[in-house]
């Protein structure tokens, strides 16, 4: 998932960039059977060029071509959008992708399953692989994860101690709020009109909430909607308490929350690694941690990006080469680090994570532990609006709807929308 706060990249003219091993420009329409074509975005062009040069140096006769597009699953000029309309002659063999695209691309046959060895799978946290797993009766892996993105609790250490429990966080946040008369105790975007279920997810998971359960094959089950499950409803009164205390509020959107934190009006802010530079520029002393456990572990949503093998590789006669490149080369520590570092994100690979030099990025990486990959089935599109609205309705101060009622309503609306 692209950061919800990242500035959108303007639609780029498609640029075809050859790696050093490519002797001259090779048209995708007339590429030889030994030419591997990769579609990626502006962040990772240079990284794929470098990785491609190393790969082709070790595989004489193979050339790699990198094509730059915008990062998205739909729309002209985007990776996913153009993949659905391209002809075989101009199609890619490998694409940069996000785990939550998997259901759509796998269902329409655009990408094909990978076959990672047991040792290769062991080099990744299971939850990153789960992001690219899809199927009904059979669980297949459709992508190699290369980087992760998640939110964490940023603590301004000059103003507050780093909390180790939810009770300590709540107590410190409310004490600060009452002393300094701030809008909220924790700066977390829950703004109207549509809410922000992505940033609210650690509180949701900490109360026992989940989006979809799993079927017997271990795949997401859209018939099992956990937005108002028994465990969550048992703890939903906590939201009513937070609303009454003013710990969180739907009057705070993303920009308001950020302003409250950087101007030292609140010591706690929930955000992600896209704010690494702004945090560094602010000269604030801080530490990033995972939101402390409430009743359950307060894990974040996890955006996982990676690479997938398209159906066109076999048609181009490079199926084996493309599979080797994705399965055996993009899983290496050096390739993993290069691709993640290109965008300032934490590597998906456990070993590549040890190469991260940025203290802030390493802290965000640690805050991802146990994270829940953004659901990759199409039914997730029916969730965002209603789950966000449940948070807005239950945190409106004196005009709030009791949380149990708000989330039961959301669960019903989601089931109806899914059909």
Q: Mean pLDDT, consecutive 10-residue segments, the chain of 419 residues?
A: 38 41 35 82 97 96 97 96 96 98 95 96 95 86 97 97 98 97 95 90 98 91 97 98 97 95 95 89 92 98 97 96 97 98 96 94 95 95 97 96 98 97
Q: What is the reported pLDDT for 11?
A: 34
> For residue 317, how many other CB atoms are within 10 A of its CB?
14
Question: Which segments of 87-130 are extended strands (E)?
Answer: 94-98, 111-112
Q: Which string of DSSP letters, residue by residue, matches 130-186? A: HHTEE-SSS-EE--EEEEEE--EEEEETTTSPPPSSHHHHHHHHHHHHHHHT-S-SS
**Structure tokens that stand for 271 in this block:** 């955000």
Domains of the chain: 15-149+304-359 (3.40.190.10), 152-299+383-418 (3.40.190.10)
Q: What is the reported pLDDT for 279?
A: 87
Q: What is the reported pLDDT for 33?
A: 53
Torsion of CA 396, 286, 297, 401, to 10 degrees: 0
> Could you give phi then psi for residue 143, rounded to 5 degrees?
-165, 150
């Amino acid at each position: 998932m692209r950061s919800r706060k990242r500035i959108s990249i303007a639609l780029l003219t498609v640029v075809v960039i050859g790696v050093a091993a490519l002797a001259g420009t090779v048209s995708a329409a007339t590429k030889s059977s030994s030419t591997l074509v990769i579609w990626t975005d502006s962040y990772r062009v240079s990284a794929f060029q470098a990785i491609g040069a190393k790969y082709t140096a070790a595989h004489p006769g193979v050339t790699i071509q990198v094509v730059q597009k915008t990062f998205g699953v739909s729309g002209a000029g985007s990776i996913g959008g153009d993949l659905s309309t391209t002809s075989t002659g101009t199609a890619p063999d490998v694409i940069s992708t996000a785990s939550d695209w998997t259901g759509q691309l796998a269902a329409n046959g655009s990408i094909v399953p990978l076959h990672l060895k047991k040792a290769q799978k062991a080099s990744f946290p299971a939850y990153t692989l789960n992001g690219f797993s899809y199927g009904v009766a059979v669980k297949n892996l459709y992508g190699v994860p290369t980087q992760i993105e998640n939110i964490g609790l940023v603590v301004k250490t000059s103003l507050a101690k780093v909390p180790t429990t939810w009770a300590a966080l709540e107590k410190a946040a409310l004490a600060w709020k009452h002393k300094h008369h701030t809008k909220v105790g924790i700066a977390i975007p829950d703004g109207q009109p549509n809410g922000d279920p992505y940033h609210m997810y650690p509180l949701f998971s900490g109360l026992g909430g989940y989006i979809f359960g799993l079927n017997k094959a271990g795949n997401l089950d859209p018939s099992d909607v956990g937005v108002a499950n028994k465990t969550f409803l048992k703890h939903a009164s906590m939201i009513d308490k937070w609303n009454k205390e003013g710990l969180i509020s739907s009057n705070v959107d993303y920009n308001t929350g950020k302003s409250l934190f950087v101007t030292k009006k609140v010591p706690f802010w929930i955000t992600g690694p896209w704010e690494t530079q702004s945090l560094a520029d602010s000269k604030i002393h801080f530490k990033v941690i995972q939101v402390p456990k409430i009743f359950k572990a307060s894990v974040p949503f996890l955006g996982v990006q990676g690479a997938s093998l398209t159906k066109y590789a076999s048609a181009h006669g490079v199926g084996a080469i493309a599979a080797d490149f994705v399965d055996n080369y993009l899983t290496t520590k050096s390739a993993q680090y290069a691709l993640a570092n290109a965008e300032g994100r934490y590597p998906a690979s456990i070993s590549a994570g040890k190469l991260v030099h940025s203290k802030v990025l390493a802290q965000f990486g640690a805050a991802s532990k146990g994270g829940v990959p953004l659901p990759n089935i199409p039914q997730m599109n029916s969730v965002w609006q209603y789950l966000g609205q449940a948070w807005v309705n239950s945190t409106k101060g004196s005009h709030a709807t009791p949380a149990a009622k708000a989330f039961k309503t959301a669960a019903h609306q989601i089931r109806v929308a899914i059909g």
